[in-house]
Structure formats: C-alpha cells, structure tokens
Amino acid sequence: MIFNGYLFTRTLNKATSLILGLLIRPFILLVQLYARVACCFRGASTSRRNEYQDFSIEGLYFREYPVDVDDFGHRVTEGGNATATKDNTMVLMGGIPTDAGETLYWLVANLCRLNPYLRCLIIQLPFVESDTRLALSETLKARYSGRLFPFNGELDRSEESVDPRFDHHNQANTAGRIL
C-alpha cells in the first residue's frame, strides 16, 4: 500500500477545519451578543429601521436623507457643522458586516466634539443597506472562488448566480455618484 501524503493532508485539513468551525461558532455568537448589548447601553440600536430621521447623539445633531442613484435610495447621514468648508468635511463609509451607523455615529460625535468646525458625511456601502433585496442575475455567475475558514481552502463558487450591484467596482462607481 502506497501512502498518499496529499490526500492525507487534505483530509486532515478538512477535518480540522470542521472541528475548529464547530468550536468557533459559539464564540462568534457570544461576540455578537456582546456587541448588541454594548450598542444598546450606549444608546444605539443594532437593528435598523428603514425610515429616514433626524436625531442627536451625545449632543450632536444628525440628519439622514436619501440620495437616489439609478432608482435606489442610498442613505446618507450628515453630522457636525453644516457650514463647514471643503477642507473641514470628512466622508466616512462603512457597512460590512453591520450598519455603518452602529459605530460611525459615535465616532463622528466624538470627532466633532474635538473639532467643532468639522462636518462629517456617513455613507452606507452601496447596496448593503438593510432594506436591499438580492436581485440575482440568471446569466452572471461568480467570478471568484471563496475561501474556507480557517485553513484558506478554496471553495468553488463559479456556478452561483450573483447580484451585479454587489461587485466592488460597481459599488465604487455608485459611491462616487452618491458624493
């Protein structure tokens, strides 16, 4: 019998990945629970309502409004000095894996407390808004393979349909049009 080292290593990698995955999942759930509790105690929410609103965090006034690009309303939140110059305007973008507001509102409130002349615009990463629904293409398939955690194994996704709006090139162009 000939020992096949490649097959053994691959099987060992898969088994170890499965075991570590089973051990890590409870830890990830605890971290998510901690984040939700921490957000609630600091006055923010981990769930996002779809309506636009004006609100205040730590004494700083925020205003939300939609910017329509190609029949999709992208949420922009503005806080700080509304009359600030271009040199005192900062654009922040976030949204993966959670709503950008969960951490950026607090950050902007503290930045504006340090610099009262600062104006901040918070943009949710395009098409990652909480009310976005997937529109999978029947012809467009995934261009990239996935990676298996934690051993960086390849996961073939070439036969899976994708929503073309989530392509990073498209998201970058959309972000430019929002600004």
pLDDT tens by residue, 78-89? 999 999 999 999
* Position 45 pLDDT exceeds 60: no
Q: Tens digit of pLDDT for each residue in 102-112? A: 779 989 999 99
Bridge partners, 76 (sequence order): 65, 123
- pTM listed for this prediction: 0.62
Residue with tokens 């600030």: 84
Of the candidates 79, 129, 72, the one whose C-alpha atom is nearest the C-alpha of residue 100 is 129
- What's the full length of the chain, in residues? 179
**How far is the CA of 25 from the CAs of 20, 22, 33, 61, 79, in angstroms?**
9, 6, 12, 38, 37
Quote the CA–CA distance of 147 and 118 in Å, as a whole number.
40
